[in-house]
Structure 1
C-alpha cells in the first residue's frame, strides 16, 4: 500500500502571504468602487448648476481627481480578481497534473517545442509569476489611488481657502489660482531636492545651508511627501527602475483623468456619441426641438441640462406652470445689471420684462414670476403660472429669453418649449 503524496495539493512554497487578504479586500471593495464613479457624477451634476462658472470649474478639478482615484481602484480590483482567479486556476490544475505540461502530446516541431517550453518554464515558476503579478497590480492600484486621494484633499483644501478669502476679502479665485497654489506649495521641496542632489555631498554637515536644507526636507517628509512615506512605491521604483515607474504612473494618471473627464462630458451630453451625423441639428431650428429637459414628467433632474420647463408636453389644465431655474452665472449678473437698484418686488417684474422676457407663439406675455424652487433638485427657481384657457387646440410654443454672459457668448438667444392643448 503506497502513501499518498500531499505535496501537490499544497500551495507553492513562495506564495505571497497576503493573497487571502488581497482577495478579501478586492472581493468586498470592487462593488463599492464600481458604484463610486456614478455617485461622484451625481454629486458634480447636482452641485455644478448651483455655482458660477469659475467655482464650477474649481469643483470640477476636485471631481476629476476623486473620480480618477475611484476609477483606478475599481479597475485595479477587477484586474486583481482576474489575476488571482488565474493564479488559483494554475494552482488547482497543477494539483491535478503534478507532472506539469506534457509537450509530447502537442505534436510540435523541435524548434516550436523548444521555444514554447523555455518560455513557459516550470509550472511552479509560472504560478509564482502569476502570484507576484497579482500582488504587484494590487499594490500599484492602491498606491496610485492613495496619491490621488492626497492630491484631491490638497486641491479641496486650497479651494476652501480660496472660498474663504473671496468671502472675506473679495479675492476672486479660479483654476489657475489652484494650479499656482499647488506649484508654490511644492516649489520649496523641489528646490531642496535639487540642491541636495547636486551639492549635498559637498555641503558642511553643520552649516547654515545644510540645516535649512534638512529642515525643508524634514518638514515635507512629515507632511507625507517622499518615498519613505510610500514604501510600496519605493520598493517598486528601486527594483523596476525609477524612470519606468514614473512613466507608468504618469500614463495611468493620464488615462484615468481622461476617462473621468470623458465620462462627465458624456453624462452632460448623452447624444454626443453615436452615428447621428445626418440627424437634424436642434440648434438650427430651436423652436422645433422637443427637448425632454423642458418637461417635468420627462426630464432627468440630475443629468438633464438646467433649462426652463413646464409640467408636460400636453397641457390639460387651465394653466401652464413655467419654472425657470436660477442660473447663477447668467441670471445673477443680468439681474444686477438691469434691476439691481430696485426693491425686491419690482425686481421680479423687471426680471420678467428685461432679463427673461417670455413669449407665447411669438407674442410677449409678461408673466408674473413668484419665488420658488425646483421641487426635485431643491435648487432656487422662479415660477410663473400662464393662463392658456383661451388658446385653441393644437401646437403652441413658449419662448424664454436666455441672458448672455457677454459679447462672445455663443449660446442661443432663447429656450423654446413646444406644448400641445
Structure 2
C-alpha cells in the first residue's frame, strides 16, 4: 500500500472508491463559490441588454423577411437571457447576504432568539412567531437551502435559454437560405422552418404516448419490447438535441424534490417571461412612456403637432427606432428646405412588390438605378407643402451614415413663402387601409420659416453716421 492509500481518510467520512470529490468538504465552500459566480455575472448581465439593443437597432433596419426574424429571435433570446439571469443572480446575492448576516448573528449569539427576554410580547404572539420562525439554526438552514435551489435553478434556466437560442438559430438560418431559392421567399422560409419544428413536436408527443402505452401493457403483463426499443431510439435523439446529459441532473433533482407541478410552473413561466422581455423593450423604445396618463396632450394630438423624431436638431438616441421623414430643424432660415425620406426595407419592400416595376427589385445600373429608385419611392410616398403637392422627381437617393439609413433627399423651394408657420405633410401608401402592417401612415412636420434671421446674420453691420 502506497503513502496516498495510507493517508486516505477512514471511517464514515471516507470517500467512496472511485469518487474524485469529497462532497462534505466541497459543501463547506459552496456558498463562497455561489457568491463569487453571482457577483461576477449579476451586474455584467444587467448591463448587456443595452449593448444588445444598440446592436439590434443598428442592424434590423437593413433586414427584411426571414433575415429580420433571425435578428429578432436572436435579440429576444439575448435580452431575455440577460435580464432573467441577471435578476435571478441579484436575488441570489440578496438571499446569500441575508444568510451571511444570520450566520454572523449565530456566531455571536449561539443561543439564538431568547424568547423569554421579549417581555413586551405576549404568550400568544410568542407561540405564533415560534411556530413561524423556529430557531435561528433552522432559519439559517432554510435560507441556505433557498439560495442553493435558486442558484441551481438559474443555471438550469441559463442552459435552457441558451440552447433554445442555438436550436432556433440552427433552424432559422438554414430555412432563410432555402427561402432565397424561391420567389415567395417568406413562405418557403416558413415551410423550411416549420417542417423540422413540427417533426420535433410530434416526436416529443410520440415519446409521451409510447411511455403511457408501455405502462398500460406492463399493468396487463403484456410484452412491450418493440415499444421500448422505439422509445429508447427517440429518447437518444431528444436527449442529444436537448442536452439532457448536461441539464438533466439539475432538472430532475429539482423536479423530484420541489414537486413536478411547482417546478414546471416556475420553469415555464420564467422562460415565457424571458422570451417576451425583448419585445417589451422594443415597444417601450417606440413609446413616449409606458405609464402614459396624458388626457389632454394625447398621442393623437402630438402626431398632428410636433415630434422630435422629425427634426435632426432634436433627435436623441431614444428616437433611434423612429425612422421618420426628416428636416434639419423646426426653424428654417435658408430658402431651400432639405427633406429626407427614409427607405425602410421591411415596409417598403413588401409594398414595392405591388406598386413598382420588376416586383420592386431595382435591377438597373448606373444612373438608371437612381432613377428607378426615385420612381419607385415616389409611387409609395405622397408629399404636400401647405396643401400643395410636391413632386419627388428632383429628389435623389442618399446614404446617411450618421443616421444609419438610406432614402431620398430633396430641397424644397421656400422662396416667396411668407415668414411664419408652414406645414409639411407626408403619406406612406396612400391607397392602404387603416390597419395592418401596410396600413396608410401619415407624418405631419410643421416648421417656421424665418428668412430674416439668416439675412441679418450674413449682412454686414451698417456704418455709423457721424453727428453733424
What are the superposed Cα offsets for residues 347-374 of structure 1, whole Å, 9 maximum, x if unpaired? 2452464332322211123142222223
Structure 1 counterpart of 2:154, from 141, 149, 155? 141
Per the alignment, residue 329 of structure 1 pairs with 346
Please state whether the residue corresponding to 2:331 is helix, strand or coil.
Answer: coil
Give the distance between the partners of 2:181 and 2:26, measured in 1 at CA.
61
Structure 1 counterpart of 2:422, from 375, 389, 396? 396
Per-residue deviation at 1:134?
A: 1.0
- The answer to whether residue 37 in structure 2 is matched with residue 25 in structure 1 is yes
Distance 1:280 1:117, change over 3 A: closer
Per-residue deviation at 1:245?
A: 0.8
- The answer to whether residue 184 in structure 2 is matched with residue 164 in structure 1 is no
Please state whether the residue corresponding to 1:383 is helix, strand or coil.
Answer: strand
Distance 1:305 1:176, change over 3 A: farther
Structure 1 counterpart of 2:409, from 365, 371, 383? 383
Q: Please identify, of 94-103 and 249-258, the stretch whose mean Cα deviation from structure 2 is larger.
A: 249-258
Per the alignment, residue 48 of structure 1 pairs with 60
Distance 1:242 1:325, change over 3 A: same
Per the alignment, residue 167 of structure 2 pairs with 154
Per the alignment, residue 8 of structure 1 pairs with none
In the TM superposition, 1:313-352 aligns within 5 A as: 313-340=330-357, 343-351=368-376
Please state whether the residue corresponding to 2:346 is helix, strand or coil.
Answer: coil
Give the distance between the partners of 2:50 and 2:113, measured in 1 at CA.
45
Give the distance between the partners of 2:28 and 2:261, measured in 1 at CA.
26
What are the superposed Cα offsets for residues 313-342 of structure 1, whole Å, 9 maximum, x if unpaired? 112334322111102233234444444258
Per-residue deviation at 1:14?
A: 10
What are the superposed Cα offsets for residues 222-249 of structure 1, whole Å, 9 maximum, x if unpaired? 2235476431111111111122211121
Distance 1:25 1:42, change over 3 A: same
Instruction: Indicate the structure whose relative CO is greater, using CA pairs within 8 Å and at least 6 residues apart.
Output: 1
Per the alignment, residue 306 of structure 2 pairs with 290
Distance 1:266 1:405, change over 3 A: farther
Per-residue deviation at 1:285?
A: 7.7
Q: CA RMSD in A?
A: 3.1
**TM score, norm. by length of structure 1:** 0.85
Q: Please identify, of 245-254 and 402-411, the stretch whose mean Cα deviation from structure 2 is larger.
A: 402-411
Compare CA radii of gyration and give the structure with the larger one.
Answer: 2
Distance 1:353 1:117, change over 3 A: closer
Per-residue deviation at 1:150?
A: 1.0
Give the distance between the partners of 1:16 and 1:406, measured in 2 at CA.
68
Give the distance between the partners of 1:352 and 1:221, measured in 2 at CA.
51
Give the distance between the partners of 1:366 and 1:59, measured in 2 at CA.
36
- The answer to whether residue 438 in structure 2 is matched with residue 417 in structure 1 is no
Distance 1:161 1:377, change over 3 A: farther
In the TM superposition, 1:5-404 aligns within 5 A as: 17-52=29-64, 56=68, 59-107=71-119, 108-170=121-183, 171-173=185-187, 178=193, 181-199=196-214, 201=218, 208-226=226-244, 229-282=247-300, 286=303, 288-300=304-316, 303-340=320-357, 343-351=368-376, 353-367=378-392, 368-403=394-429
Per-residue deviation at 1:82?
A: 0.4
Give the distance between the partners of 1:245 and 1:413, measured in 2 at CA.
47
Please state whether the residue corresponding to 2:341 is helix, strand or coil.
Answer: strand
Distance 1:87 1:218, change over 3 A: same
Give the distance between the partners of 2:353 and 2:42, measured in 1 at CA.
49
Per the alignment, residue 4 of structure 1 pairs with none
Question: Is 2:384–2:390's contact at 8 Å kept on the other side of the alignment?
Answer: yes
Give the distance between the partners of 1:160 and 1:340, measured in 2 at CA.
30
Gaps of 5+ in 1: 1-11
Give the distance between the partners of 1:362 and 1:54, measured in 2 at CA.
39
Question: Is 1:330–1:403's contact at 8 Å kept on the other side of the alignment?
Answer: no
What are the superposed Cα offsets for residues 14-49 of structure 1, whole Å, 9 maximum, x if unpaired? 965311121111111112111122233333433333
Question: Is 1:352–1:369's contact at 8 Å kept on the other side of the alignment?
Answer: no
Per the alignment, residue 3 of structure 1 pairs with none
Distance 1:332 1:261, change over 3 A: closer
Question: Is 1:296–1:311's contact at 8 Å kept on the other side of the alignment?
Answer: yes
Distance 1:381 1:349, change over 3 A: closer
Per-residue deviation at 1:57?
A: 5.0
Q: Please identify, of 49-58 and 210-219, the stretch whose mean Cα deviation from structure 2 is larger.
A: 49-58
Give the distance between the partners of 2:287 and 2:72, measured in 1 at CA.
16
Distance 1:178 1:74, change over 3 A: farther
Give the distance between the partners of 1:311 and 1:77, measured in 2 at CA.
46
Give the distance between the partners of 2:422 and 2:235, measured in 1 at CA.
70
Give the distance between the partners of 1:96 and 1:416, measured in 2 at CA.
70
Question: Is 1:143–1:232's contact at 8 Å kept on the other side of the alignment?
Answer: yes
Please state whether the residue corresponding to 2:293 is helix, strand or coil.
Answer: coil
